[in-house]
Amino acid sequence: MANERLRGAILASNLPLEKIAERLGVSTRTVERWVEAKDGRRPHRRFQYALANLLTRDLSDLWPDEQTSSAAADAGRAELVRLYPHRAVVPKELWTSLYAKASRHFDLVVYSGFWLSEDPLFARLIREKAQAGVPVRLMLGDPDCIEVAQRGADEGIGPAMAGKIRNALANYAPLFGVPGVEFRLHSTTLYNSLYRADDDLLVNGHVYGVGAYLAPVLHLSQVPGGELFSTYATSIERIWESSRIITSPQLDSEVAA
């Protein structure tokens, strides 16, 4: 018996099946099978959450009989490698050691991430991974957007936030034009800075009134049946798709999208 709830949600979204499949990293035929629901077929748990998020529906709207299983809860706990009370106590070598192992995903989502842009080892890793064929995606905040201005006000540093972004871009100047390295600017309300290297993810929360270096950091590692990692990974893809490409750190010469 077909899942008419899912079919209706897909139609209402105006997203073609091909686009949904691309966003979820599956084949179009797989999405069709989820809709057909033959023999009770339904997506793996993490795809259920990703699909519900993509269609902006509650999980119970699409699969009303689906309940959170103890196995899924256990998997979620297994995804948390470690919780750090604030970024300042995360071992410095952890950031680069994780990126050094990247072979499929090398993603950075920040407003400025200025501290990391000053690290020559990080810059070297970007070059090495790009040369090895790993797509390097660096997403920084648009220094001219109101979201960055608001974050600066929230941290109590005002326009210095935009200045930090411009300084970070200046540090990255030698990396512009390197094949496989792409810079984009986003204007999202960024609730977390995200650092992804394949199946490892560092999530640096943003807390009102303090800088990100004083906010907690979650170290997550993707495990089968887990849902934490995929939630943040989906956020990375959404930010990537909504951001604009820049080809130079000299933003005054860029044409705004």
The pLDDT, as a whole number, for residue 49 is 83
Q: Is 111 helix (H, G, I), strand (E, B) or coil?
A: coil
The pLDDT, as a whole number, for residue 140 is 98
Is the predicted pLDDT of residue 89 greater than 50, yes or no?
A: yes
Domain annotation for the chain: domains and CATH numbers: 4-67 (1.10.260.40), 76-253 (3.30.870.10)
- Supply the Cα-derived Rg of the chain in whole angstroms: 20
Nearest CA-CA partner of 55 in 187, 234, 242 = 234
Most confident of 18-22, 74-78, 173-177: 173-177
Q: Is 147 within 8 Å of 141 (Cβ atoms)?
A: yes
Report the percent of the chain where pLDDT is more than 70.
Answer: 93
Confidence of residue 185 (pLDDT cuts 50, 70, 90): very high
pLDDT in tens, 111-146: 999 999 999 999 999 999 999 999 999 999 999 999
Burial 194-210 (b: 16+ CB within 10 A, else e): bbbbbbbbbbbebeeee
E strands, 28-177, in order: 80-84, 106-109, 136-141
Give, for 233, the enclosing helix (H) or strand (E): helix 228-242
pLDDT in tens, 35-73: 988 877 788 878 888 888 888 887 777 887 655 444 555
Mean pLDDT (the chain) is 90
